[in-house]
Amino acid sequence: MSLRLLLPEEGATELLASWPGEPRVFERGTPSLDATVTAESIRGYLYTGCVPAHEIAAVKAPSPSLSQNAYMTDGRTDRAKLARLYERGYTIRLGNLQRVVPALTQISEAIQTETGYSNYIHAFLTPPGGQGLRHHWDQQMAVIVQIAGTKRWQLWQPPVEAPMREYNESFRVWKDEYLPAWEAAGPDVEVDLKAGQSLLLPRGWVHNPRVVAAEEHSIHLTFAIRERTQLWLAEKLLAGAISRKEFRRIILPRQLGGEGLVEQLGEAREALVKYVQGLDLSEVAPSVIKDALTELEYKT
C-alpha cells in the first residue's frame, strides 16, 4: 500500500499506468491516510514547534518567504511566533514531514518502493481568505491531498517543456509577461479542492492556490514525487567510470583553454563512448534498481 493511501484505487492505477500529463481530481473515499493524518495532528506539529525551523516557511502573497528569524527564538522554532504569523494571514509550510512524522515516513518509503521515485511531503496551513505561494510551476508530479477546508487551484498549461531541477525551474526562466498574460486569459483549469479530495498536479503546470472563503481554514499535504529521467539513467551509466584510470587523469591548467581544451574534450568524449559501449547492462541494472529504491536526494 502506498499511492493507494492518497488516491482511490482507480486513481493510483491510472497514475502508475500512464503518469497523466493533465490535472485530475479524485474522491479519496476513506483511505487509511485520513485516519492517520488529521487536521488536528497537522496543527499539532505547527503549534508544538516540533518541526525544525529550517523546514518551515511563512509566506503571504505577494511577498516572499519571511526570514527564519521571524519564527525562531534562541535558534529553535517558536510556536507562539508561528501562531501569530498565521493569525496575520501567513500560510505556514511545514516541510519534509517524512523526516519527522513516522507514519508519513512509512508512506514515503512505500511510494518509493512502488514507483522507484524518491519523494517528499510538505503540509500547508492557510488561514481564511489567505494565500501563500502565487503563480509558479514545479519540476515533479505532485499529489495534493486536501485534509481540511477548501482551496481553489487555478491552473495553466506548462509554459516550458519538461522542467527539471536546475533546468526550466520557474524562478530560473521567469518572464515578467507571464503573470499579466495568465491573469488576462484566465486559468485553463480551476478546481475547488475540498477535504476528502486529491489532485494530481503534473510537473510544469502553473498553479495559483488560495483560500477563497473568508471563514474557512485550509490544510493540505503535497506529496512531491520526483520522477526519474533519462539523464538520471545516464548518470548511473557513468557512475562506475571513476574506476578507470583514464578518467582520473589530471588535466593541466594550460590544457583548459583554447584549442587545448577542445582536444581534451574530444578525448573525454571518445573515452566516455568507449566506456559506455563496453558496459554489460545486465550487470549495471541491479545497482540502478537499488538506487531507485533507496536514493533520497536528487540532482535532476
- Predicted pLDDT at 66: 96
The three cell numbers locating residue 235: 548518470
Q: How many whole angstroms separate alpha carbon 109 and alpha carbon 116?
A: 10
Q: How many whole angstroms separate alpha carbon 17 and alpha carbon 287?
A: 24
What residue type is 171 in one-letter code? F
Query: Would you call 134 exposed, middle or buried from its count of C-beta atoms within 10 A (0-12, 13-18, 19+)?
Result: middle
Assess contact for 246 and 273: CB atoms under 8 A. Answer: no
Q: How many whole angstroms separate alpha carbon 202 and alpha carbon 199?
A: 10
pLDDT per position as a tens digit, 245-278: 999 999 998 888 877 899 999 999 999 999 999 9
- Predicted pLDDT at 260: 86
Query: Would you call 46 exposed, middle or buried from its count of C-beta atoms within 10 A (0-12, 13-18, 19+)?
Result: buried
3-class SS string, the chain: CCHHHCCCHHHHHHHHHHCCCCCEEEECCCCHHHHHCCHHHHHHHHHCCCCCHHHEEEECCCCCCCCHHHHEECCEECHHHHHHHHHCCCEEEECCHHHCCHHHHHHHHHHHHHHCCCEEEEEEEECCCCCCCCCECCCCEEEEEEEECEEEEEEECCCCCCCECCECCHHHHCCCCHHHHHHHHCCCEEEEEECCEEEEECCCCEEEEECCCCCCCEEEEEEEECCCCHHHHHHHHHHHHHHCHHHCCCCCHHHHCHHHHHHHHHHHHHHHHHHHHCCCHHHHHHHHHHHHHHCCCCCC
pLDDT at 30 over 80: no
pLDDT per position as a tens digit, 31-67: 668 888 999 999 999 989 889 999 999 999 999 999 9
Q: How many whole angstroms separate alpha carbon 52 and alpha carbon 50?
A: 6
Q: Which residues are paired to 142 by β-bridges? A: 201, 224
Question: 39-47 vs 79-87: helix axis angle to the nearest 10?
Answer: 120
Residue 297: pLDDT band by 50, 70, 90 thresholds?
confident
Assess contact for 93 and 272: CB atoms under 8 A. Answer: no
Q: Tell me the average pLDDT across 128-144.
A: 96
- Predicted pLDDT at 166: 87
- Predicted pLDDT at 299: 61
What is the torsional sign of CA 63, 69, 70, 75? positive
First to last CA, the chain: 27
Q: Tell me the average pLDDT across 215-220.
A: 96
- Predicted pLDDT at 300: 54
pLDDT per position as a tens digit, 164-177: 988 999 999 999 99
Domains of the chain: 3-227 (2.60.120.650), 231-294 (no CATH)
Q: How many whole angstroms separate alpha carbon 27 and alpha carbon 198?
A: 6
